[in-house]
């Protein structure tokens, strides 16, 4: 049936075709009608995360006690249809309110980009999404890691860190988290908040190439160096050549997602530098290696707990449409602290220069 609706019959045909294809997509998936507001955690071993205990307490504090969290575990690099099923559940069930995605940020976007109505600028720049939310009936994808990883990094470094120290950044891992750090530093307004040099080391080439493309597209005064390597001894050599005050980041997942560390026990951290292990649970070999040099090299050793807090609180704020002001963040941090898994340094032999 032809009908002239504002823009004429072509517009009507386009609208009808879009709505039919939307119905087609919807009918392809099995949608479970949730009875209470449900926030999904899309990951690999979601049941083991501290958020499962923290979330109900946070919901009480935020006045949303009926909202629950549900984990959806996907295999790493799962088949596209399974990711689309997960996104469809959120898109088409009214009480499925959104999600935080870990480990599958690139794959979900690759598999289901067409199911989103809006993607934010960071997801366009990084080719990934970490947050699914709904605004005025539209399905929205955000990449919040540059914001939340950036907030954590800022707290670790303080103002004008690089002007004060002249340190570089060495980041092991060019995945979502490594890329987020790079983007955050590139977007800094004050030159004193940017290192002269950022070295990124990754096991294989594709993510280095993607990172390089992002850096080249944006343009920056930071001198980036990209190294394909997974040999820890070579990483020790890269680390020993850093100037004093440099920050070394473990964004590989080694020590949590897989055993090991990107460096050996002999690797020397930069004097007066910072070691940032991005995780807060697991064997955390890199964190222990840095702890062993806390006094001999005067290294400040950080873990991923603050990143966890900023990450989850900002994603919840986006999905629930609540304001995450400083007072609320502090209240949520105090609640989470009571449930934090213990992290205790077990001494190991440390290297001598
Ligand atoms: N505390 C928090 O809240 C928080 C937040 C964000 C991330 N994290 C943690 O940070 C880690 C990284 O996260 P992500 O999202 O960036 O993960 P990701 O996308 O899987 O990236 C990990 C990267 O590390 C590289 N890699 C692995 N082994 C390596 C080695 N031996 N040497 C050099 N590079 C190596 C991988 O290379 P390939 O390209 O060859 O696979 C991959 O590019 C994860 O363990 C995650 O749990 C924690």
Ligand 1 centroid vs 353 CA: distance in angstroms?
29
Cα→Cα distances 264→126, 177, 234, Å: 30, 22, 9
Cα→Cα distances 85→18, 82, 140, 252, Å: 20, 5, 16, 28
Q: What residue's CA is closest to ligand 1, atom 42? A: 175
Q: Which pLDDT score is estimated for 9? A: 47
Burial of 329 by CB count in 10 Å (0-12 exposed, 13-18 middle, 19+ buried)? middle
Which pair of tokens denotes residue 307?
């990143």
Q: Which pLDDT score is estimated for 189? A: 95
Q: Which pLDDT score is estimated for 231? A: 98
Q: Which pLDDT score is estimated for 140? A: 98
Quick one: how far is CA 240 from the chain centroid?
28
Q: Which atom of ligand 1 is nearest to the CA of 176?
A: 16
Q: What residue's CA is closest to ligand 1, atom 2? A: 308
> Which domains can be identified in the chain, with CATH numbers?
9-143+311-339 (3.40.50.10860), 147-307 (3.40.50.720)
User: Does the beta carbon of 251 lie inside 6 Å of ligand 1?
Assistant: yes
pLDDT tens across the length of the chain (353 residues): 332 333 444 554 555 555 556 666 777 899 999 999 999 999 988 998 999 999 999 999 999 999 999 999 999 889 999 999 999 999 999 999 999 999 899 999 999 999 999 999 999 999 999 999 999 999 999 999 999 999 999 999 999 999 999 999 999 999 989 999 999 999 999 999 999 999 999 999 999 999 999 999 999 999 999 999 999 999 999 999 999 999 999 999 999 888 999 999 999 999 999 999 999 988 999 999 999 999 999 999 999 999 999 999 999 999 999 999 999 999 999 999 999 988 888 886 655 55
Pocket test of ligand 1: the residue of 173, 200, 207, 286 to mutate, having most ligand atoms within 8 Å of its CB, is 173
Quick one: how far is CA 54 from the chain centroid?
19
Ligand 1 centroid vs 184 CA: distance in angstroms?
17
CA distance linking residue 328 with residue 315, whole number of Å: 14
Q: Which pLDDT score is estimated for 165? A: 98
Handedness of CA 303, 305, 311, 314 (dihedral sign): negative
Which pair of tokens denotes residue 105?
């940020």
Which pair of tokens denotes residue 246?
């440099």
Q: What residue's CA is closest to ligand 1, atom 21? A: 175
- 68 φ, ψ to 5°? -115, 165
CA distance linking residue 117 with residue 21, whole number of Å: 14
Taking residue 161's Cβ as centre, other Cβ atoms within 10 Å add up to 20
CA distance linking residue 61 with residue 336, whole number of Å: 11
Q: Which pLDDT score is estimated for 16? A: 58
Pocket test of ligand 1: the residue of 212, 251, 257, 309 to mutate, having most ligand atoms within 8 Å of its CB, is 251
Any residues with CB less than 8 A from the CB of 312 and at least 6 apart, and which? 51, 54, 55, 58, 100
Nearest CA among 90, 95, 108 for reference residue 44: 108
Q: Which pLDDT score is estimated for 28? A: 86
Which pair of tokens denotes residue 33?
């009608």
Q: Which pLDDT score is estimated for 117? A: 97
Q: What residue's CA is closest to ligand 1, atom 27? A: 252
Ligand 1 centroid vs 257 CA: distance in angstroms?
8
User: Does the beta carbon of 256 lie inside 6 Å of ligand 1?
Assistant: yes
Q: Which pLDDT score is estimated for 310? A: 97
């Amino acid at each position: 049936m032809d009908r002239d609706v504002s823009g004429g019959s072509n517009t009507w045909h386009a609208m009808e075709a879009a709505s039919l294809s939307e119905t087609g997509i919807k009918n392809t998936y099995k949608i479970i009608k949730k009875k209470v507001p449900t926030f999904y955690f899309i990951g690999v071993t979601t049941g083991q995360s501290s958020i499962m205990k923290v979330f109900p307490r946070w919901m009480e504090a935020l006045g949303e006690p009926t909202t629950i969290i549900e984990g959806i575990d996907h295999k790493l690099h799962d088949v596209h249809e399974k990711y689309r099923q997960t996104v469809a559940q959120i898109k088409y069930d009214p009480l499925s309110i959104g999600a935080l995605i870990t480990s599958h940020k690139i794959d979900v976007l690759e598999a289901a980009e067409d199911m989103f109505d809006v993607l934010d600028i960071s997801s366009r720049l990084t080719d990934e999404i970490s947050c699914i939310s709904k605004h005025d009936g539209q399905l929205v994808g955000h990449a919040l890691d540059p914001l939340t990883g950036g907030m954590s990094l800022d707290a670790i470094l303080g103002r004008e860190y690089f002007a004060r120290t002249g340190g570089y950044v060495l980041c092991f891992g060019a995945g979502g988290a490594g890329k987020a750090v790079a983007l955050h530093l590139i977007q800094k307004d004050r030159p004193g908040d940017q290192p002269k040099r950022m070295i990124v080391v990754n096991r294989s080439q594709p993510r280095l190439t993607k990172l390089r493309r992002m850096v080249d597209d944006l343009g920056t005064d930071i001198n980036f160096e990209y190294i394909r390597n997974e040999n820890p001894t070579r990483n020790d050599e890269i680390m020993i050549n850093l100037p004093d005050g440099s920050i070394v980041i473990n964004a590989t997942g080694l020590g949590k997602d897989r055993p090991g560390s990107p460096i050996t026990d002999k690797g020397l951290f930069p004097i007066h530098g910072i070691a940032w292990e991005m995780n807060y649970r697991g064997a955390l070999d890199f964190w222990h290696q840095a702890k062993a040099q806390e006094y001999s090299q005067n290294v400040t050793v950080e873990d991923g707990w603050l990143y966890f807090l900023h990450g989850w609180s900002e994603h919840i704020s986006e999905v629930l449409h609540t304001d995450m002001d400083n007072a609320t963040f502090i209240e949520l941090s105090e609640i989470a602290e009571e449930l934090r898994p213990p992290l205790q340094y077990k001494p190991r032999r440390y290297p001598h220069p």
